Homo-oligomer: A and B are copies of this chain.
Amino acid sequence: MRTERIRSWWGWGWQDAAVGEAERKGLVGRLPPHWVADPMPVPRVDDLDLRPPRVRTPDSLAPICTAHPHVRVAHTYGKAYRDVIRALRGEFARAPDLVAFPETEEQIGRLLDWAGDTGTAVIPYGGGSSVVGGVEYRGDGHDAVLSLDLTRLDRVLEVDRTSRAALIQAGALGPVLESRLAPHGLTLRHFPQSFEFSTLGGWLATRAGGHFAMRHTHIDDFVEALRVISPSGLTQTRRLPSSGAGPSPDRLFLGSEGTLGVITEAWLRLQDRPVHKASRGISFGDFAAGLDAVRAIAQSGLDPSNCRLLDEAEAAINTGRADGRAVLVLGFESADHPVDPALARAVEIAEAHGGTADPKSTQDSVGGWRSAFLRMPYVRDALARSGAIVETFETACTWRTAAELCATVRTGVQAAITEVCGEPGIVTARVTHVYPDGVAPYFTVIARSRRGSEVQMWDQIKAAASDILDRLEASVTHHHAVGRDHRRWYDAQRPHEYCKVLRAAKSSLDPHGILNPGVLFD
């Protein structure tokens, strides 16, 4: 299953899948012409000003470590808009000194011991798809920085077909683990947008969300057991379908973002592959009406696997629809039983809330959405190079707050864009994850950038957005983690006493403070 395709060191995904010049011209043709700039050139890695490594590993670890410039720059940032811009600008002052590719837990243990002894910060690194500064060293208290790439730990170690679970190494990328489960007729069915370029360990460490609307959303709920190597020692939790024995140890490490230990293996709950599917599109006069319908469906107990509500602008962009209506796509899937009755009831609820159902099934447009969704980050890179700020953010809030939040975010972020960019931009909203008690709205921002100020401009817009989320007591993130970019608002969201607990846990598990410093807490 090894592929010879090469990952982009500065932007999203595969190098060979990057937007080419012809496609780029087409894309920028959809922007206001005065926004469009000549594309930022992609520098040659050999031309980058990289500091020589400040440290070297013992000979015994040397074979799994590299200081190759291409590898170091590729491991410097995640894949946010601000990361792409900084990479294109050649800003690599804080590149890791070394990148390690351990193949065993024993090697991880030795690397952590060595790092503790030498004051080297260790950044656990899976697929590198963080969009929140989660894999980037920004501190100055360490003598060197090691990026710990876990992708060689990518095997499925054991499959328990009876319990429908598997023991999987944390470095497995999405397609790798799915390809290894497929012969058993099983699937994890966790499909974040980053699926191709993120690992199980990254999903676990960040409490990632898949693309299903309900139930099978956060990876947290799939975890039977974890295996974590901290500088202080190994944590292996017991494999249980459920337990009432004390606070869940798994839940401490889920979302710990590499600060408390390196997740090396996990037992995951799996699914049979779905064979029954049904899907339908429904349109609404506006997004707020759609939200009401989505709430009723989310509280019905029908549990759609897709319940994707696009506002007017997203509907126009994604479905080509020009009638100014918001669009809801409902989908149901099952490996066991037909889902048409569930779809019919959900459509009935939507219609009772003012929706107009498409006359026929939308199977095709679901596939179309998915392709466009997976292509989006490549498009983002092309637009980012050509004069546009293109970024997203998401949150979660109760239904009581949802409509006000969506309206306030649009207005407030447009105001921030106007202030920062000198003119309004585009702010769109969609909903892809819903709960009986609330929803996770997802926003896309497209605005005019000024060459050389892109990062600061986006940071100002993002700060305005995060301030609004904080004021309305929504979450600073639903499934993109805290990293370093969300710290200010996470610090406000997280109870103070709990921060003390996290610090105490850190002192116990990582006494030298080498693991991913700056993430989550100081």
Contacts and interface: CB of A to CB of B under 8 A. Distances in A.
Interface string A398-440: 1110000000000000000000000000000000010111111
Nearest to A349: B336
Interface stretch (A24-32, A50-58, A80-88, A479-487): A479-487
A244 B475 contact: yes
A293 to B, nearest CB: 14
A253 B251 CA distance: 11
A237 interface: yes
A173 interface: no
A330 interface: no
A239 B473 contact: yes
Given A241-B437, A244-B480, A476-B245, A232 B497 contact: yes
Contact of A509 (B345, B398, B486, B497): B497
A494 B396 CA distance: 32
Nearest to A507: B504
A33 interface: no
A231 to B, nearest CB: 10
Contacts of A302: 336-337
A245 B399 contact: no
A398 B438 contact: no
Contacts of A235: 495-498
A109 to B, nearest CB: 13
A252 interface: yes
A236 interface: yes
A502 interface: yes
A160 B236 CA distance: 40
Nearest to A297: B336
Contact of A475 (B165, B207, B243, B342): B243
Interface in A251-269: 251-257, 269
Contact of A504 (B160, B241, B477, B504): B504
A234 B206 CA distance: 26
Contact of A233 (B435, B479, B496): B496
Contact of A209 (B244, B252, B481): B244
A190 B453 CA distance: 54
Contacts of A480: 244
A300 B247 contact: no
A251 B247 contact: yes
A247 B241 contact: no
A232 B500 contact: yes
Interface string A379-403: 0000000000000000011111000
A202 to B, nearest CB: 12
Interface in A285-308: 295, 299-302
Contacts of A220: 248
A208 interface: yes
A355 to B, nearest CB: 17
Interface in A436-495: 436-440, 473-482, 486, 490, 493-495
A508 interface: yes
A227 to B, nearest CB: 10
A83 B394 CA distance: 51
Nearest to A226: B495
Contacts of A435: 241-242
Contacts of A218: 242, 244
A223 to B, nearest CB: 11
A481 to B, nearest CB: 6
A335 interface: yes
Contact of A482 (B207, B245, B438, B474): B245
10 contacts: A160-B398, A164-B399, A234-B497, A240-B396, A241-B435, A242-B435, A242-B475, A245-B255, A501-B508, A504-B508
| 10 tightest Cβ-Cβ pairs between the two chains A and B | A241-B438, A504-B504, A241-B435, A251-B251, A207-B244, A249-B498, A163-B398, A300-B336, A243-B475, A163-B399
Given A240-B397, A300-B335, 18 more contacts: A163-B398, A163-B438, A164-B436, A165-B398, A207-B243, A217-B242, A218-B244, A234-B497, A243-B478, A244-B255, A244-B477, A246-B482, A246-B494, A249-B498, A302-B336, A302-B337, A497-B509, A501-B504
Interface of A: 160, 162-165, 206-209, 217-218, 220, 224, 228, 230, 232-249, 251-257, 269, 272, 295, 299-302, 334-337, 341-342, 345, 349, 396-400, 433, 435-440, 473-482, 486, 490, 493-498, 500-505, 507-509, 520
